[in-house]
Amino acid sequence: MEGGSGNNSVPPSPTFDKSRVLDVKPLRSLVPVFPSSPHTPPFVCAPPSGPFPSEFSPFYPFSGPQPAPPDLNQQTHTPAPLRSFRPPQSNGQISRDVNTDDGPPKRSVGRPRASSSSSQKRAKKDLDFTLSVVDTNFVVGVTSAQKEDGDREVVNNVLMRFDALRRRLSQLEDSKESPSGLIRRADLKAGNILMSKGVRTNMRKRVGVVPGVEVGDIFFFRMEMCLVGLHSQSMAGIDYMVIRGDIEEDPLAVSIVSSGGYDDEAEDKDVLIYSGQGGNVNSNKKDKQAADQKLERGNLALERSLHRANEVRVIRGMRDVISPTAKVYVYDGLYRIQESWVDKGKSGCNIFKYKLVRVPGQPGAFAVWKSIQQWREGFSTRVGLILPDLTSGSESIPVSLVNDVDEEKGPAYFTYFSTVKYIKSFKLTEPSYGCNCRSACSPGDLNCSCIRKNGGDFPYTANGVLVNRRPLIHECGPTCPCIPNCKNRVSQTGLKIRLEVFKTKDKGWGLRSWDPIRSGTFICEYAGEVIEKVKSRQDGEGEDDDYVFDTTRVYEPFKWNCEPGLIEEDGNDTTEEYNIPSPLIISAKNVGNVARFMNHSCSPNVFWQPVAYEHNSESYVHIAFFALRHIPPMTELTYDYGTSRSDEADGSGTPHGKKKCLCGSPRCRGYFG
């Protein structure tokens, strides 16, 4: 059990004496005994979806061979880096110089030897615990080829490689041509492949900040947190390590995942009441008898962290408003355990409760989610709201206009239009015809002409996420007989996320989302009037780069697609270079949509993709924007504007005709346009 209901304040407990919790000693009987016989099967830890198929190559903790624990006699620990939010040392504070490891605890020297009978009982109890354990607390991430600590770029790279592989595996699963028995959990399959190839970072467990992971980062899969070292448990809610003290060893909590009903647990955005793990405290199943939670493993680690006052990373699981059956995990920063007590569950069994309080001075994360939830439900008014919907109903989802920076009442007037407008005489390609599907286009159906145009692959996963960047994506057009909600019409179905146009501090108006955005999600298209290059120069439209999209500019190359070698695919057809039939220039100065408000960044979180679909026997190209990586709510959406081919510089050092860049990225090239 990862988290349960509770209150913000600690309720009085006339029945239970808290001192019996606080003064308990470490349970030495919890030292695991790992089978040494070569004939002994390894741990079996099946995912929630059930047993793995034979094609799945297991890895620890998913029933694979267990890594050897580290030698506790070797001084191999590297002290954790100083943290931004490091508090003053106190008597209960764990020292940064303490020697820590992830190996199983040893008995303290000088402890009396147990009798033969008690040793046998303890060994049986240890074996029972070993067979029931489902986490990786003692040995996960400790290998002979331990990775260096990551940074922001490394963490982003690992996450992008994981999601690219996961999307490709999902595409194969959706296809009729997928091999029989292919595992349906593409996230677990992708994690298995990357871990086996060493594509991960921050493998050493630590207290406090994880290098390269920032407060507010979001994750759509638990495996993502494992790969970047934020929380190494694939299923368990409490992650801990074993520390050496002067006299004895203790488990120490390093992170928790709370995925219960948070409205009941933490009305205060800086307080979390967390329920312990284990026991069948809420069991309604006839084959499982209700039982008290025990002060062992993660529960004991939280208790020890209370005494040592060490920081614990908190990850909150939130409902995904775009996919209600899915969950989004948000890293809410560092907390300290302030108090613990025993409470009664619905079944009458004892539950451990821990009150965690957020360390001050950190950026808001869960607080942002709470504010958005209140805006949605109408319980609070959006500060600085100018218009509740600047589209005037043109979009199926309203787009609010907000300015909480100054007194400006809105951008210059323009006509809102949700798609691109072509001049009738401006033909892009030869006559084109759509598919002949009578229902929905099916992945892997080579009888569908639209799928054949895409090289035989369906360009999107079943939930509408783009799989790969392509030279040109072909979607079903308005005259295709397939149903309107065919999965091959992703860029034509309007907005699916709640967007907001807002005033930035130094870049004019910008665009951001109330919703978390998954990598590969369609955001919007670039709407406006298609113009010719000659007309652009004559009208001076090219001087206002904020409102012109030009495919003839030079764009920084980047890698987004799955690496063919990870799943032994032929890499001949993996180009990400765009192939547009004719140069395309779109002006959104007078007519446009929300895309006109997206600012430039040299390290963007959005990219553009040309998409073609036929209309009146002609194929026209549209510019669609997709998420480059996972984007947390209220994060500004940006893409690379590219640069013209002029290299002449003016007196300021900025090339002539280009604008000074204010993106603030470490990779900022100083100008754009």
Would you kindly state where each structural domain of the chain is located, as residue ranges?
Answer: 140-175+183-204, 213-279+292-380, 384-568+575-645+660-672
210-238 pLDDT per residue, tens: 999 999 999 999 999 999 999 999 888 99
For residues 13 and 342, the answer to whether their CB atoms sit within 8 Å is yes
Q: Is 286 exposed, middle or buried (0-12, 13-18, 19+ CB in 10 A)?
A: exposed
CA-based radius of gyration for the chain:
28
Report the range of poorest mean pLDDT among 98-102, 119-123, 374-378, 625-629.
98-102
Fold of 213-279+292-380: PUA domain-like (2.30.280)
Position with higher pLDDT, 344 vs 529: 529
pLDDT of residue 618: 80
pLDDT of residue 45: 40
524-563 pLDDT per residue, tens: 999 999 988 755 555 554 455 468 999 999 999 999 999 8
Task: Give this prediction's pTM.
Answer: 0.77
Answer yes or no: is pLDDT of 315 > 70: yes
Q: Residue 521 and residue 460: Cα distance in Å, rounded?
A: 10
Q: Mean of the pLDDT values across residues 497-524?
A: 96
367: three-class secondary structure by DSSP: helix
| Nearest partner of 526 among 504, 511, 513, 537, judged by Cα | 511
pLDDT of residue 655: 63
pLDDT of residue 615: 78
For residues 620 and 613, the answer to whether their CB atoms sit within 8 Å is yes
144-174 pLDDT per residue, tens: 233 568 899 999 999 999 999 999 999 988 8
Question: Do the bridges between strand 528-531 and strand 420-421 make them parallel or antiparallel, or are there none, so unpaired?
Answer: parallel
87-124 pLDDT per residue, tens: 333 333 433 333 333 333 333 333 333 344 444 444 33
| Nearest partner of 240 among 138, 339, 159, judged by Cα | 138
pLDDT of residue 207: 95
């010719």: which residue's tokens? 532
Fold of 384-568+575-645+660-672: Beta-clip-like (2.170.270)
394: three-class secondary structure by DSSP: coil
Answer yes or no: is pLDDT of 668 > 60: yes
Residues in CB range of 489: below 8 A, 6 or more apart = 475, 476, 613
Residue 324: how many other CB atoms lie within 10 Å: 8
Q: Residue 224 and residue 162: Cα distance in Å, rounded?
A: 7
